[in-house]
Amino acid sequence: MAMLPTQQQLSAQNNAVKGIQELVEAGLTHVPRNYIRPAEERPCLSLVSDKEQVPIINLTGFYGENRERLIQEIGRACEEWGFFQVIGHGVTPSVIENFWAAAINFFQLPPDDKLRFLSEDVRSEVAYITSHNRTKEKVAEWKDTLYFRRLSGVFNGFKQAPEMCREAVLEYMKEITILANAIYKAIFLSLGLSSDYLQKTLPEFQRIVLGINYYPPCPDPDLTFGISGHSDITCLTILTQNDVPGLQVMKNGKWVAVKPVPGSFVVNLGDQTEILSNGKYKSIEHRAVTNLDKTRMSVPCFFSPSEDANIGPLAMLLDDKRNEALYREIRFGDYLNNFYSRPLARKAGVNDSRIKSSHSSTPLSP
């Protein structure tokens, strides 16, 4: 494990890298130039729909008499939205509350204490970053994030979390991983695949990343993003958020605001599930916008396969005539490297994985 930086090194880092939280708390009254999007890339908040809402699924009875109905309900949500919220999920309320308290406490630390975890390495166990991918992006994202990463059999960043939040992180991850595995299996059961088949073929979650996002108030939310439009490279993402709106999803070519539901988790399909399902279920582009006077916090947990896993359409979903493979098989570690080799680019990763139609020289449409 790498040694923590010295105070002298921290001072140099602090001069070079300031989190957006620090800038805002210092009295920022305008959006700095490096955060301003070109006019054609701005949020256009007046065009966002708040009349629709992603499905809300009550998982009560998931392991009992309601199981089959709920699996089909999850399938409909995947097919129609690729996003849904769950309540009645069984995660202990006190575990969620303790985790949130720990998350808030971290972002109340002095800047130098947070900068001790500064890292742009996407394979570091614990990393504090500002924006999303500063080495590749031209315009910064209006957020600071603390990441914990676990790669099975290699390292476990949850156990390396700052002492002030380690116990809360470990307890939270224990329960959220149980929920993620249950939903992940249900997604593929809804496609008519058997439990036995999935047990043998569905890639397990070997790479798990927990991010705590801090989006401070923004003087002009029309100029920038908390995080710009993208799909997740995961199999599955499960997110909890505070009561400040900001998450938006793409639906039929329009952005739809996701209204926070107290006690819920937001679930969205990642690119690997789109590939595994041969496009029957799609990963969905989403983004986070900023808020004029309130801090938004969100906690996504990204569940992915081993970096050595080769991901392609599941064989039981293919045949020689009507259901040919629409995606190339790709090693997940290569997919990961491609994602971080460029700025966020909508659904660029999964689009690159598509097999071109034999009747056309252009890729299949999203």
Percent of the chain whose pLDDT exceeds 70: 88
pLDDT given at position 71? 98
State yes or no: pLDDT of 346 exceeds 80.
Answer: no
State yes or no: pLDDT of 120 exceeds 90.
Answer: no
Rounded to the nearest 5°, which phi and psi values hold at 76? Answer: -65, -40
State yes or no: pLDDT of 162 exceeds 70.
Answer: yes
339 pLDDT tier (thresholds 50, 70, 90)? confident
Rounded to the nearest 5°, which phi and psi values hold at 80? Answer: -90, -30
pLDDT given at position 323? 81
Contact 95, 298 (CB under 8 A): no
> What is the rounded average pLDDT of the residues 224-231?
93
9 pLDDT tier (thresholds 50, 70, 90)? very low
Q: What are the angstrom distances between the C-alpha of 261 and each of 109, 239, 245, 265, 266?
A: 28, 12, 10, 8, 9
pLDDT given at position 363? 39
State yes or no: pLDDT of 263 exceeds 80.
Answer: yes
The more confident residue out of 354 and 133 is 354
Tokens of 82: 């690729």
Q: pLDDT digit string (tens) for 190-211?
A: 999 999 999 999 999 999 999 9
Nearest 5°: the CA angle 264, 268, 269 is 150
State yes or no: pLDDT of 171 exceeds 70.
Answer: yes
DSSP reduced 3-state for 327: strand
> What is the rounded average pLDDT of the residues 291-318?
96
pLDDT given at position 357? 62
Q: pLDDT digit string (tens) for 91-101?
A: 999 999 999 99
177 pLDDT tier (thresholds 50, 70, 90)? very high
pLDDT given at position 15? 38
> What is the rounded average pLDDT of the residues 130-148?
82
Tokens of 32: 């700095």
Q: What per-residue string of b and e applies to 287-308 under the rule 16 or more CB within 10 Å gives b? A: bbbbbeeebbbbbbbbbbbbbe
The DSSP element (H or E) to which 315 belongs, if any, is none
State yes or no: pLDDT of 137 exceeds 90.
Answer: no
Percent of the chain whose pLDDT exceeds 90: 76
| Whole-structure pTM value | 0.91
pLDDT given at position 240? 98
pLDDT given at position 322? 74
219's CB contacts (< 8 A; 6+ apart) are 28, 29, 30, 31, 292
State yes or no: pLDDT of 343 exceeds 90.
Answer: no
Q: pLDDT digit string (tens) for 57-88?
A: 999 999 999 999 999 999 999 999 999 999 99
pLDDT given at position 80? 97
pLDDT given at position 12? 37
Q: What average pLDDT does the chain have?
A: 89
9's CB contacts (< 8 A; 6+ apart) are none
222's CB contacts (< 8 A; 6+ apart) are 42, 43, 44, 45
pLDDT given at position 351? 75
Query: How many angstroms separate the CA atoms of 108 and 33, rounded?
Result: 26
- Range in 123-132, 143-152, 162-171, 186-195 the model is least confident about: 123-132
Query: How many angstroms separate the CA atoms of 339 and 219, rounded?
Result: 30
pLDDT given at position 366? 37
Contact 114, 19 (CB under 8 A): yes
State yes or no: pLDDT of 359 exceeds 50.
Answer: no
> What is the rounded average pLDDT of the residues 252-280?
96
18 pLDDT tier (thresholds 50, 70, 90)? confident
